[in-house]
């Protein structure tokens, strides 16, 4: 058993060294303090500097991953780590259906799978705070949340059907140089369920209900919260083993100095 | 022995009284109603409703509802992405009776983008089921509830942002019938009002996204019955026959507006006020709150088309809140006579009399029998319709209206000339070396008249003396 773990670990390292070129597809995100959209009025969070993938992980990249990591193949995956929908649009272990393209973002992956993918490259999933921080940007401004256009565009995507079928990198690059945070697929975050289960923001709200009916309105003091609440809602509806058609992921990496 | 007799008698009495109680089967505490067997619920898309419960016993009722986010047509040429319960707006009609144990499975289609849930106003429990049914795309959730209170209830999605989920069509009705069912009627229909907020103005074409700001301002672009303008008009109108009793289950999904529900030309014999037990009689307009419902019943006594409206009337005529009930059958003159006579009403003093205008082309009463008559009638037409621009001698007005006298444009092509009169003409043309760029509207005159007036023009002022017949005009019209 130990040996397997060890060999897996070395495999990860090897793959990491092979894929070191990958970092060229990342950009530096300078950290800062900000009030997240979904937060309570006075909760400021701090985001440290980190690097983020400029594109979501593509189907082609994920095929490479399962080639080198058989335990994440469709037929081998442990049901505890991925539900029945895992890679539902793949024909076989290493073969996707003709209806999808290798340049599509990978979807139908569970949180466990996404997490493993990132870790095997020396990366990790972004936290909700990190993800939201980068996603505040539009093409020109790093915090575009006050612009009405910004929210309208995001909402328009939430309503637009079948965007999953688009290729990565077709939306406009945001001010950080990152693509597709809005307009393509939802993305896993490391702590996607933390806001629902624990945390400051919940202390004086009834346990499960802050997404529903009346309680959803308590925090929704401005219009921009509409877009945020929808992301909040989708994260809240997930479990780590879920695999969904419209849910993909991207990875981030801590800066070496900070480790 | 005597004691035994009295005991037996007493027992018999007890048994008798027990039997009596069982016969009534009136459960004052509805949560105690026992259920027997399982049954798959019939779900229907509007305007249809499932079969009445009648005398059936309370059952375990299985309801399977699927959530679909799909593009539909709000009105001609205007597309909208609806979020639906069961693929329709309003969502599928659920029909239960009091005491049923409903096992409700909510499935969220994998293609959907968003998580959803359902809050049924018929549920006694936190969130009306919302808490237990919050479901991600590609998943399903099951929960169960007992229907305790008879009435007509709204259900809707209650996932944040709630207003947007409702505004996109996520609402419907669930009926809980009393024991023994509602009284039988001849026709039952399902109608639900909703207001819609689009980025473009009412009627602006293309795929219209939801407009959050307008929704917050409660400034609706569309107010409709059953999810789209015209969902209940024309071929899609609901129908009944004279003498039948019609029951409408009317709900209001909102999200914002309260409905003043009215049927033009009918009086509601009975209204279950707010969908509850209270019955009001002889009602003209009943108020249906957002997130509320009413059951209205009326007997239709005369044939005709009865218009269903939200009597906040601009919504009906400008925003779409208009449906039709078409009633067929024998006239009942005693109840409604129709128009009996028409008269001219002249108030004292000088009144302004207007000629009635109409788009219809009236055929000339006397067809021209000869060339001479054609010329005569043609001249009359010319003086009525052409003279103002082309002038008495066909000389036209320089730079504005081209001449007809000695006109090369006219004489070159008779069919083109007919076409100009019949269809109108606009844009640049050259006549006798001068260019004109103006508009001639199409002339609303009969084929005979066109033939006559053109014959007159061709045989005047040095033109080519062609004779135009009615057939030639009709041939051009047919092209």
- Work out the burial of residue B393: count CB atoms within 10 Å of its CB; fewer than 13 is exposed, 13-18 middle, 19 or more buried: exposed
Say if residue B5's pLDDT is above 70.
no
Across A51-55, A194-198, B420-424, least confident range:
A194-198
Which CATH number does the domain housing residue A27 bear?
A: 3.90.1580.10
**Rounded average pLDDT over B235-253:** 96
**Rounded average pLDDT over A230-235:** 83
Nearest to A28 by CA among A45, A4, A52: A52
Say if residue B19's pLDDT is above 80.
no
**Rounded average pLDDT over B357-379:** 71
Residue indicated by tokens 């026992």: B34
Residue A189 banded pLDDT, cuts 50, 70, 90: very high
Residue B140 in 3-state DSSP? strand
Q: How far is A75 from chain B (nearest CA, A)?
A: 20
Q: What is the pLDDT of residue A202?
A: 31
**Rounded average pLDDT over B325-335:** 89
Note whether residue A159 is domain-resident.
Answer: yes
Asked if B127's CB is within 8 angstroms of A212's CB, the reply is yes
Q: What is the pLDDT of residue B241?
A: 96
**Rounded average pLDDT over A205-228:** 50
Say if residue B420's pLDDT is above 70.
yes
Q: What is the pLDDT of residue B277?
A: 93
**pLDDT tens digit sequence for B90-107:** 999 999 999 999 999 999
Q: What is the pLDDT of residue B41?
A: 96
User: Can you state the percent helix, strand and coil of chain B, rounding each to 5?
Assistant: 25, 35, 45
Residue B332 CB neighbours (<10 A): 13
Note whether residue A16 is domain-resident.
Answer: no
**B258 and B252 Cβ atoms separated by less than 8 Å:** yes
Query: ipTM score of the complex?
Result: 0.76
Residue in A188, A244, A247, A248 to test binding to B, most B beta-carbons within 10 Å: A244
Q: What is the pLDDT of residue B17?
A: 47
Nearest to B425 by CA among B413, B416, B415, B414: B416
Q: What is the pLDDT of residue A8?
A: 52
Q: What is the pLDDT of residue A211?
A: 46
**pLDDT tens digit sequence for B27-78:** 678 888 999 899 999 999 999 999 999 999 999 999 999 999 999 999 888 9
Asked if A223's CB is within 8 angstroms of B209's CB, the reply is no
> Which residues from chain A sit within 8 angstroms of residue B110, using beta carbons?
85, 88, 244-245
Residue A233 banded pLDDT, cuts 50, 70, 90: confident
**Rounded average pLDDT over A121-138:** 93
Q: How far is CA A178 from CA A86, A128, A139, B22, in A?
A: 27, 16, 9, 73
CA A183/CA A168 separation, integer angstroms: 10
**pLDDT tens digit sequence for B125-155:** 888 888 888 899 999 999 999 999 999 999 9
> Which residues from chain B sit within 8 angstroms of residue A158, using beta carbons?
113-114
Say if residue B344's pLDDT is above 50.
yes
Asked if B135's CB is within 8 angstroms of A229's CB, the reply is no
Say if residue B21's pLDDT is above 70.
no
Residue A123 CB neighbours (<10 A): 23
Q: Identify the architecture of domain B187-328 in CATH.
A: Sandwich (2.60)
Note whether residue A180 is domain-resident.
Answer: yes
Asked if A161's CB is within 8 angstroms of B81's CB, the reply is yes
Let me know if domain B371-478 sits in CATH 3.40.50.150: no
Of B81, B160, B164, the CB nearest to A211: B160
Of A213, A238, A246, the CB nearest to B113: A246
Strand partners for A46: A33
Mean per-residue pLDDT over chain A, rounded: 79
Answer whether 0.90 is exceeded by the pTM: no
CATH superfamily assigned to domain B31-177: Cupredoxins -  blue copper proteins (2.60.40.420)
Higher pLDDT, A216 or B467: B467
Say if residue A130's pLDDT is above 50.
yes
**pLDDT tens digit sequence for B387-404:** 878 888 898 888 788 999
Q: What is the pLDDT of residue B217?
A: 92
Q: How far is B265 from chain A (nearest CA, A)?
A: 39
Across A181-195, A198-212, B212-226, B444-458, least confident range:
A198-212
Of A229, A238, A243, the CB nearest to B160: A229
**B274 and B294 Cβ atoms separated by less than 8 Å:** yes
Mean per-residue pLDDT over chain B, rounded: 87
Classify A71 in phi/psi space as left (phi over 0), alpha (psi -120 to 50) or beta: alpha
Q: What is the pLDDT of residue B391?
A: 83
Give me the torsion for CA of B430, B432, B438, B442, rounded to 10°.
-100
Note whether residue A78 is domain-resident.
Answer: yes
Q: What is the pLDDT of residue B288?
A: 97
Say if residue A86's pLDDT is above 50.
yes
> Which residues from chain B sit within 8 angstroms of residue A162, using beta carbons?
111
Q: How far is CA B49 from CA A209, B172, B190, B466, in A?
A: 33, 12, 6, 68
- Work out the burial of residue A217: count CB atoms within 10 Å of its CB; fewer than 13 is exposed, 13-18 middle, 19 or more buried: middle
Note whether residue A1 is domain-resident.
Answer: no
Sign of the dihedral through C-alpha B467, B472, B477, B479: negative
Q: How far is B65 from chain A (nearest CA, A)?
A: 18
Token pair for residue B100? 């049923």
Q: Nearest chain A Cα to B207, which residue?
A: A160
> Which residues from chain B sit within 8 angstroms of residue A151, using beta carbons?
212
**B463 and B404 Cβ atoms separated by less than 8 Å:** yes
Q: What residue numbers bound the domain in which A166 lies?
A: 22-258
Higher pLDDT, A257 or B176: B176
Residue A221 banded pLDDT, cuts 50, 70, 90: very low
CA A128/CA A133 separation, integer angstroms: 8
Say if residue A196's pLDDT is above 50.
no
Nearest to A128 by CA among A184, A192, A186: A192
Number of domains composing chain A? 1
Nearest to A54 by CA among A192, A169, A186, A182: A169
**pLDDT tens digit sequence for B256-303:** 999 999 999 999 999 999 999 999 999 999 999 999 999 999 999 999
**A65 and A222 Cβ atoms separated by less than 8 Å:** no
Q: Residue ranges of the domains in chain B?
A: 31-177, 187-328, 371-478
Identical topology for domains B31-177 and B187-328:
yes
Residue A37 banded pLDDT, cuts 50, 70, 90: low
Percent of chain B at pLDDT > 70 equals 89
Parallel/antiparallel/unpaired status of strands A95-96 and A90-92: antiparallel
Of B70, B112, B159, the CB nearest to A211: B159
Q: What is the pLDDT of residue A215?
A: 45
């Amino acid at each position: 058993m130990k040996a397997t773990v060890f060999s897996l670990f070395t495999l990860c390292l090897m793959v990491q060294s092979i894929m070191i070129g990958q970092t060229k597809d990342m950009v530096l995100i300078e950290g800062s303090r900000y009030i997240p959209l979904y937060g309570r009025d006075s909760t400021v969070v701090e985001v440290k500097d980190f690097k983020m993938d400029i594109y979501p992980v593509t189907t082609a990249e994920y095929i490479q991953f399962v080639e080198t990591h058989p335990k994440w193949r469709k037929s081998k995956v442990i049901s505890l780590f991925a539900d029945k929908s895992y890679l539902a649009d793949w024909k076989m272990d290493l073969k996707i259906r003709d209806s999808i393209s290798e340049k599509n973002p990978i979807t139908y992956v569970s949180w466990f799978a996404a997490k493993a993918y990132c870790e095997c490259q020396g990366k990790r999933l972004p936290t909700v705070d990190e993800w939201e921080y980068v996603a505040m940007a539009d093409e020109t401004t790093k915090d575009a949340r006050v612009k009405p256009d910004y929210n309208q565009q995001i909402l328009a995507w939430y309503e637009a059907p079948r965007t999953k079928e688009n290729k990565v990198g077709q939306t406009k690059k945001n001010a950080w140089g990152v693509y597709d945070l809005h307009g393509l697929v939802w993305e896993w975050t490391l702590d996607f369920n933390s806001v629902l289960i624990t945390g400051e923001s919940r202390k004086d709200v009834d346990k499960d209900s802050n997404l529903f009916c009346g309680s959803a309105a308590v925090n929704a003091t401005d219009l921009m919260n509409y877009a945020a609440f929808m992301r909040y809602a989708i994260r809240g509806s997930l479990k780590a083993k879920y695999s969904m058609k419209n849910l993909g992921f991207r990875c981030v990496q801590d800066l070496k100095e900070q480790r | 022995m005597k004691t035994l007799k009295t005991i037996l008698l007493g027992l018999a009495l007890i048994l008798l009284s027990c039997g009596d109680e069982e016969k009534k089967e009136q459960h004052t505490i509805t949560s105690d109603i026992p259920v027997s067997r399982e049954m798959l619920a019939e779900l229907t898309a509007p305007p249809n409703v499932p079969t009445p419960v009648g005398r059936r016993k309370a059952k375990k009722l299985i309801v399977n509802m699927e959530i679909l986010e799909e593009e539909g047509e709000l009105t001609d040429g205007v597309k909208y992405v609806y979020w639906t319960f069961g693929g329709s707006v309003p969502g599928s009609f659920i029909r239960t009776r009091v005491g049923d144990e409903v096992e409700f499975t909510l499935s969220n289609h994998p293609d959907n983008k968003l998580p959803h849930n359902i809050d049924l106003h018929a549920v006694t429990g936190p969130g009306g089921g919302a808490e237990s049914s919050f479901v991600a795309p590609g998943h399903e959730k099951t929960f169960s509830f007992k229907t305790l209170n008879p009435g007509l209830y709204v259900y809707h999605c209650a996932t944040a942002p709630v207003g947007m989920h409702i505004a996109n069509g996520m609402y419907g009705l669930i009926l809980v019938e009393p024991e023994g069912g509602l009284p039988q009627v001849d026709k039952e229909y399902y109608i639900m009002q909703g207001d819609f907020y689009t980025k473009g103005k009412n009627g602006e074409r293309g795929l219209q996204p939801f407009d959050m700001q307008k929704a917050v301002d409660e400034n609706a672009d569309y107010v409709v019955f059953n999810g789209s303008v015209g969902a209940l008009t024309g071929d899609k109108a609901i129908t009944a026959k004279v003498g039948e009793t019609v029951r409408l289950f009317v709900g209001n999904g909102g999200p914002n507006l309260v409905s003043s529900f009215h049927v033009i030309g009918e009086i509601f014999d009975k209204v279950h006020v707010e969908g509850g037990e209270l019955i009001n009689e002889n009602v003209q307009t009943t108020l249906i709150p957002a997130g509320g419902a009413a059951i209205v019943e009326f007997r239709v006594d005369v044939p005709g088309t009865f218009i269903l409206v939200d009597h906040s009337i601009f919504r009906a005529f400008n925003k779409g809140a208009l449906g039709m009930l078409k009633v067929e059958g024998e006239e009942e003159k005693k109840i409604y006579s129709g128009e009996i006579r028409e008269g001219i009403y002249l108030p004292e003093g000088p009144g302004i009399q207007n000629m009635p205008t109409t788009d219809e082309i009236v055929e000339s009463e006397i067809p021209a029998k000869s060339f001479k008559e054609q010329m005569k009638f043609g001249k009359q037409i010319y003086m009525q319709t052409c003279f103002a621009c082309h002038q008495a001698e066909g000389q036209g007005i320089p730079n504005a209206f081209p001449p007809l006298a000695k006109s090369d444009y006219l004489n070159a092509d008779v069919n083109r000339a007919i076409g100009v009169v019949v269809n109108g003409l606009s844009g640049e043309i050259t006549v006798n070396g001068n260019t004109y760029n103006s508009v001639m509207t199409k002339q609303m005159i009969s084929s005979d008249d066109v033939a006559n007036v053109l014959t007159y023009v061709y045989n005047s002022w040095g033109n080519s003396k062609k004779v135009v017949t009615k057939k030639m005009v009709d041939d051009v019209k047919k092209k």
